[in-house]
Structures are given as C-alpha cells and as structure tokens.
Chain A
Amino acid sequence: DTAVSQTPKYLVTQMGNDKSIKCEQNLGHDTMYWYKQDSKKFLKIMFSYNNKELIINETVPNRFSPKSPDKAHLNLHINSLELGDSAVYFCASSRQGTGYEQYFGPGTRLTVT
C-alpha cells in the first residue's frame, strides 16, 4: 500500500491555465506538507498543514492555494500558471510535532509551456 500518494504523476499545461495536484496519506498523520523541487534539484518547503490548519506559508505567490478537506488530504491548486512554476512538487506527511520523520510522495512533475 502506498503511504503518501499524489495525482497526477505528470502534468503538462499551458501558461495561464489553472491546475490542481492531489495528495493523500494513509499513515494516520496529522501534518502534511508541500515542497517544490526546482530545475537545480533544490527542495524547498511551500506549505504545511496540521489537522487541516495552515501553519507554514513560505513566501509563495498567492496563485498557489493549498486546501485540506480532511487531515488525510492536502491538495494544491495553482492559478494562472507561469513558466517558472515548472518543477516537481512533492507532498509529505508526518506525525504532529517537530521530532517526527517525514514521509514523501512520489512527486508530480509539472511542465508549463
């Protein structure tokens, strides 16, 4: 069974479109995250939710809007896509608190043309 899953795995779209990426975890974790890995393979936190509440928002353009319908799901909606949004987006989850291991999904490769 996949612990942290993301859909879709690949997403190719044109500039200006709106798209969503879905994430689900079946680990019973309270905290979920979105990370972005850029073309240089550098990973950086975007958002973190704890029990459906936003706790981290790392200077991300407001075109990016995370939504957590329940603590097992954290979706990422992106409006008005730009070329610079092309990257791999990773979802992760952990137990609540700072001492716990984070588990990552397989990633979604977004290409904006």
Chain B
Amino acid sequence: KQEVTQIPAALSVPEGENLVLNCSFTDSAIYNLQWFRQDPGKGLTSLLLIQSSQREQTSGRLNASLDKSSGRSTLYIAASQPGDSATYLCAVTFQGAQKLVFGQGTRLTINP
C-alpha cells in the first residue's frame, strides 16, 4: 500500500533555531513530492515541489531534500520565526497514480 508518514505529529522549538521536518513514503517509485503549509482554518500553500530526478529544492529559508531509495524527504527550515508556525504537510505522487497521497502533517510551533 502506498502511504506517507510524517513524524513527529507536533514540534515546538524556540525562535531562531534551525529545524528539520521528516517525511517517509513506502514506495520509491514516485513522480514527485510536494511540501505544503497549512495555517489554522486556511487552505494549503505549496512550498516546494521536488521531481523524482531531483535531490533537493530551495526557496528562501526552506530546503527540501529527497532520497527515493530510502523513501525519505526532509524539509529544513533555517532561522525559524514565529510566523513559521503552521502545519506542514508532505504529499507524494506515486507512479501509476495521478493523485497526491498526503502524510498526517507535523504541527510546528515556533516560540518567541
């Protein structure tokens, strides 16, 4: 079964710290992996999209890596700010399926 898992479910860190969010998936045959941010009561904002042929993508303070062989992706957030507080979702498009399979998300809290 094609599944995506995010651990931990919640993370709380002081402002200014660098942090890593984890995502794992059960099948290495993927088309791409997408990281989203969801604020409470809001929709999803796409942060980064990594194609299966890529190893990482960067946008500002965010860096996402992809290791297909181990079925893992990480989202690195540098110099965290209170405004980074949100739920971060990882989603994978597995080969043979034109749909996103989501993880449960990691709820991130940055404490001032």
Which A residues contact B (CB, under 8 angstroms)?
A: 31, 33, 35, 40-45, 48, 50, 55-56, 58, 90, 92, 97-99, 101-107
What is the bound-complex CA distance between A90 and B101, given in angstroms?
A: 14
Closest chain B CB from A101 CB (angstroms): 5
Closest chain B CB from A82 CB (angstroms): 23
- Can you spell out 20 A-B residue pairs with CB atoms less than 8 angstroms apart? A33-B100, A35-B100, A43-B100, A43-B102, A48-B98, A56-B98, A58-B99, A90-B43, A97-B98, A98-B31, A98-B32, A98-B93, A99-B32, A99-B51, A102-B34, A104-B36, A104-B43, A104-B45, A106-B43, A107-B43
Chain B interface category by residue count: 20 to 34
What is the bound-complex CA distance between A92 and B32, given in angstroms?
A: 17
What is the bound-complex CA distance between A75 and B99, given in angstroms?
A: 18
Closest chain A CB from B46 CB (angstroms): 6
Task: Label chain B's interface by main secondary structure.
Answer: strand
What is the bound-complex CA distance between A50 and B51, given in angstroms?
A: 21
Residue B86 is within 8 A (CB to CB) of chain A in the complex? no
Are B31 and A106 neighbours in the complex by a CB distance under 8 Å? no
Which residues of chain A have C-beta atoms less than 8 A from B101's C-beta? 45
Closest chain A CB from B81 CB (angstroms): 23
What is the bound-complex CA distance between A33 and B31, given in angstroms?
A: 17
User: 19 other contacts beyond A98-B98, A102-B46, with CB at 8 A cut-off?
Assistant: A40-B104, A41-B87, A41-B105, A42-B104, A43-B102, A44-B102, A45-B101, A48-B98, A48-B99, A56-B97, A98-B31, A99-B31, A101-B34, A102-B34, A102-B91, A102-B100, A103-B46, A104-B44, A106-B42
Closest chain B CB from A24 CB (angstroms): 14
Are A101 and B44 neighbours in the complex by a CB distance under 8 Å? no
CB nearest neighbor in B for A43: B102
Which residues of chain B have C-beta atoms less than 8 A from A48's C-beta? 98-99
Which residues of chain B have C-beta atoms less than 8 A from A41's C-beta? 87, 104-105
Which residues of chain B have C-beta atoms less than 8 A from A44's C-beta? 102
B88-112: which have CB < 8 Å to A? 89, 91, 93, 95, 97-102, 104-105
